[in-house]
């Protein structure tokens, strides 16, 4: 006989067309019956940790999460203790303070360049590709970087700041194809070492530093997938730094994952295992942070493309796993699989978006001419 927790979860999943121990690839198979109590008391943290612990299986995790999120089951689950704790911490403390700024570099981006080299492809771009005319991951990433360059209207000899430069993907492409000089900053020592080698011989330099310590002028600024680590308490500071570093006739392109609702924290499982101190901004939060500092010239949403990007990363990671498993182990494999496929499901359900926002200090004279 089913206990209360099992009955409650079963009824929820049925609303999304998911059957416990069913035959569809998005159905879940229960390995440990304690799963139901764990999920009811711990929410998403319990669900993710139970998957890492082999308590449940699903052939198609991305579709499982797509169905959960497209049916908005997260609104019906209620508040768990881990979520309450995350909200409390975010309200009381500045989780993205300067003192804590390097934590995400140490715990995520410094995991091992071997993982990211295998997963990300030749561009080493760790953000959403632009699949408009692309025939694969590498071409989608090159198209995304070229789109950024064209939106900024880069000219040879210009100086460009890349806030959160990753492994140097934008810097390398922009320097090689547009003849610009790029300064990239990162909080990851592994990214820094890789990027310096990746861009060797080009007019590119990298620094291990927090954005708050920047104070020099650039023709243009780009920030790809970095503001997700800034936090709502620091958005205004972040924008003020960008404003003081941007020339009066320059452009600032912000590329970010976006949430449909304003919040001050992130999913407890994601915070604990993937991106510590992370937070997805809403349009309301971004627009509030630029008020009086920038003119919003252009907004481009291609969030649906992140589903394709994440699935490509997952297939690369899964294919390379035989080379990686001795170093990282089974729990890491299940954690990373859960991360990539749950995110793919979220973008497929359109509960997460991807925005490119072009900002100017004073408004482009005559109007900004967008490109797509």
On the question of pLDDT at 2 being above 90, the answer is: no
140 and 71 in a single domain? The answer is no
Q: Residue 89: what pLDDT? A: 41
Give the percent of the chain with pLDDT over 70: 90
Q: Determine the average pLDDT of the residues in 266-282.
A: 88
> Which of 46, 78, 110 is where one domain is finished?
78
Rounded to the nearest 5 degrees, what angle is found at the Cα of 277, between the Cα atoms of 272 and 282? 115
How do residues 206-233 score in pLDDT, each as one tens digit?
Answer: 999 999 999 999 999 999 999 999 988 9
Please state the domain count of the chain: 2
Residue 161 forms part of a structural domain: yes
65 and 131 in a single domain? The answer is no
Residue 221 forms part of a structural domain: yes
14 and 52 in a single domain? The answer is yes
Of the ranges 82-96, 114-128, 167-181, which one carries the lowest mean pLDDT score? Answer: 82-96
Q: Residue 75: what pLDDT? A: 67
Residue 272 forms part of a structural domain: yes
> Which of 22, 46, 78 is where one domain is finished?
78
Residue 306 forms part of a structural domain: yes
Q: Residue 1: what pLDDT? A: 39
Q: Structure pTM?
A: 0.92
Is residue 187 within 8 A of residue 163, CB to CB? The reply is no
Write out the catalytic residue numbers.
Answer: 343
Of the ranges 9-13, 81-85, 140-144, which one carries the lowest mean pLDDT score? Answer: 81-85
Q: Residue 96: what pLDDT? A: 47
How do residues 9-60 score in pLDDT, each as one tens digit?
Answer: 888 899 999 999 999 999 999 999 999 888 888 888 889 999 999 999 999 9
d(CA 292, CA 282): 18
Give the CATH number of the domain where residue 286 resides.
3.40.50.150
pLDDT band at 93 (very low <50, low <70, confident <90, very high): very low
> What domain range is 320 assigned to?
98-360
If you average pLDDT over each of 73-82, 83-92, 263-272, which comes out highest? 263-272
Q: Residue 342: what pLDDT? A: 95
Residue 92 forms part of a structural domain: no
How do residues 251-266 score in pLDDT, each as one tens digit?
Answer: 999 999 999 999 877 8
71 and 108 in a single domain? The answer is no
Residue 125 forms part of a structural domain: yes
Residue 172 forms part of a structural domain: yes
- Return the higher-pLDDT residue of 73 and 114: 114
Q: Residue 358: what pLDDT? A: 98
> Which of 78, 109, 139 is where one domain is finished?
78
118 and 252 in a single domain? The answer is yes
102 and 74 in a single domain? The answer is no
61 and 152 in a single domain? The answer is no
How do residues 331-343 score in pLDDT, each as one tens digit?
Answer: 999 999 999 999 9
329 and 203 in a single domain? The answer is yes
On the question of pLDDT at 110 being above 50, the answer is: yes
232 and 193 in a single domain? The answer is yes
175 and 58 in a single domain? The answer is no
Residue 368 forms part of a structural domain: no
Supply 80's token pair. Answer: 């768990």
69 and 152 in a single domain? The answer is no
- Interstrand relation of 218-224 and 246-259 (parallel, antiparallel or unpaired): parallel
185 and 262 in a single domain? The answer is yes
């Amino acid at each position: 006989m089913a206990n209360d927790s099992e009955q409650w979860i079963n009824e929820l999943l049925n609303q999304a067309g998911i059957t416990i121990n069913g035959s569809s690839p998005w159905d879940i198979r229960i390995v440990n019956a304690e799963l139901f109590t764990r999920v009811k008391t711990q929410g998403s943290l319990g669900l993710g940790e139970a998957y890492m612990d082999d308590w449940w299986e699903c052939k198609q995790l991305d579709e499982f999460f797509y169905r959960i999120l497209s049916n908005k089951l997260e609104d019906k689950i209620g508040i768990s203790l881990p979520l309450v704790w995350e909200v409390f911490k975010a309200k009381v403390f500045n989780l993205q303070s300067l003192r804590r700024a390097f934590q995400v570099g140490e715990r995520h981006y410094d995991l091992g360049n071997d993982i990211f080299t295998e997963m990300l492809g030749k561009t080493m771009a760790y953000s959403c590709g632009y699949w408009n005319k692309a025939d694969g991951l590498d071409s989608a990433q090159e198209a995304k970087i070229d789109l950024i360059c064209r939106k900024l209207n880069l000219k040879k000899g210009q100086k460009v700041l890349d806030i959160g430069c990753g492994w140097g993907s934008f810097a390398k492409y922009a320097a090689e194809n547009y003849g610009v000089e790029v300064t990239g900053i990162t909080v990851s020592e592994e990214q820094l070492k890789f990027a310096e080698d990746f861009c060797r011989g080009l007019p590119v330099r990298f620094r291990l530093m927090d954005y708050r310590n920047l104070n020099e002028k650039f023709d243009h600024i780009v920030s790809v997938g970095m503001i997700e680590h800034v936090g709502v308490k620091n958005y205004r500071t972040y924008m003020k730094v960008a404003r003081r570093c941007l020339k009066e006739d320059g452009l600032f392109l912000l590329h970010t994952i976006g949430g449909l609702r304003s919040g001050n924290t992130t999913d407890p499982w994601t915070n604990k295992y993937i991106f510590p101190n992370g937070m997805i901004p809403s349009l309301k939060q971004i627009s509030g942070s630029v008020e009086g500092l920038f003119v919003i010239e252009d907004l481009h949403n291609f969030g649906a493309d992140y589903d394709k990007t994440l699935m490509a990363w997952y297939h690369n990671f899964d294919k390379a796993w035989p080379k990686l498993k001795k170093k990282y182990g089974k729990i890491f494999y299940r954690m990373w699989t859960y991360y990539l496929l749950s995110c793919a499901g979220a973008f497929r359900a359109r509960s997460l978006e991807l925005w490119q926002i072009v900002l100017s200090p004073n408004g482009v004279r005559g109007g900004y001419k967008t490109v797509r």
